[in-house]
Structure 1
Amino acid sequence: MKTSGNTVFISGGSAGIGLAIAKKLSAAGNRIIINGRSEERLQSALKELDNAVAIQGDLSVKADRVRIAADLKTNYPELNIIINNAGSAFMNDLSDVNNNSAEKAAQEINTNYISVIDFTTLTLPLLLAQEEAAIVNVSSIVVFRSNKYLPTYAASKAALHSYTQGLRDALATNDSLNVYELYPPLVNTEFSAEIGGANGIPPSEVADELFAALEKNQFEVPVGDTKKIHALVNPITEQAPH
Structure 2
Amino acid sequence: MQLTDNTIFITGGTSGIGRGLAEAFHKLGNRVIISGRRKALLDEVTAANPGMKAIELDINDPASIQSVATTLIRDYPTLNVLINNAGIMPFDNAAAVIDDTVSQAILTTNLLGPIRLTSALIEHLKRQPRATIIHNTSALAYLPLAVSAVYSASKAALHSYALSQRFLLRDSSVRVQEIAPPWVNTDLIKKSDDPRAMPLDAFIEQTMAGLSTEAEEVVVEAARPIRDNPGANEHALVNAFNASLLANPVPV
Same fold (TM over 0.5): yes
Among 123, 136, 140, the residue aligned to 1:125: 123
Q: Unpaired segments of 5 or more residues in structure 1?
A: 235-242
| Change in CA separation of 1:197 and 1:178 when aligned onto 2, cut-off 3 Å | farther
| Change in CA separation of 1:104 and 1:65 when aligned onto 2, cut-off 3 Å | same
| Distance in 2 between residues matched to 1:9 and 1:206, nearest whole Å | 20
Once the two structures are superposed, what CA deviation does each residue of 1:68-124 show, in whole Å capped at 9, x if it has no partner? 000001100100000000002211022333x41x32221111111112111101001
2:225 maps to 1:222: no
Once the two structures are superposed, what CA deviation does each residue of 1:206-240 show, in whole Å capped at 9, x if it has no partner? 32233212321112111242112224469xxxxxx
2:164 maps to 1:166: yes
Aligned residue type for 2:212: E
| Distance in 2 between residues matched to 1:107 and 1:145, nearest whole Å | 22
| Distance in 2 between residues matched to 1:41 and 1:211, nearest whole Å | 24
Within a 5 Å distance, the mapping from 1:1-242 to structure 2 comes to 1-97=1-97, 99-100=98-99, 102-174=100-172, 176-193=173-190, 198-199=194-195, 200-232=197-229
The answer as to whether partners of 1:139 and 1:161 remain within 8 angstroms in 2 is: yes
The answer as to whether partners of 1:46 and 1:53 remain within 8 angstroms in 2 is: yes
The equivalent of 1:237 in structure 2 is: none
| Distance in 2 between residues matched to 1:188 and 1:224, nearest whole Å | 16
Q: TM-score, normalised by structure 1?
A: 0.90
Aligned residue type for 2:207: L
Give structure 1 regions of 4+ aligned residues with deviation exceeding 3 angstroms.
196-199, 231-234
Aligned residue type for 1:29: G
| Change in CA separation of 1:233 and 1:45 when aligned onto 2, cut-off 3 Å | farther
Aligned residue type for 2:10: I
Once the two structures are superposed, what CA deviation does each residue of 1:123-148 show, in whole Å capped at 9, x if it has no partner? 01111111111000000010012122
Q: Unpaired segments of 5 or more residues in structure 2?
A: 232-252
| Distance in 2 between residues matched to 1:65 and 1:233, nearest whole Å | 38
| Distance in 2 between residues matched to 1:19 and 1:105, nearest whole Å | 25
Equivalent pairs: percent with the same residue? 31
| Distance in 1 between residues matched to 2:50 and 2:225, nearest whole Å | 35
| Distance in 2 between residues matched to 1:149 and 1:155, nearest whole Å | 12
Task: Note the C-alpha offset of 1:154.
Answer: 0.2
| Distance in 2 between residues matched to 1:22 and 1:36, nearest whole Å | 13
The answer as to whether partners of 2:211 and 2:218 remain within 8 angstroms in 1 is: no
| Distance in 2 between residues matched to 1:91 and 1:229, nearest whole Å | 20
| Distance in 2 between residues matched to 1:223 and 1:60, nearest whole Å | 29
Matched residue SS, 2:58: coil
The equivalent of 1:239 in structure 2 is: none
The answer as to whether partners of 2:143 and 2:226 remain within 8 angstroms in 1 is: no
Task: Note the C-alpha offset of 1:205.
Answer: 2.6
CA RMSD, 1 decimal? 1.7
| Change in CA separation of 1:40 and 1:110 when aligned onto 2, cut-off 3 Å | same
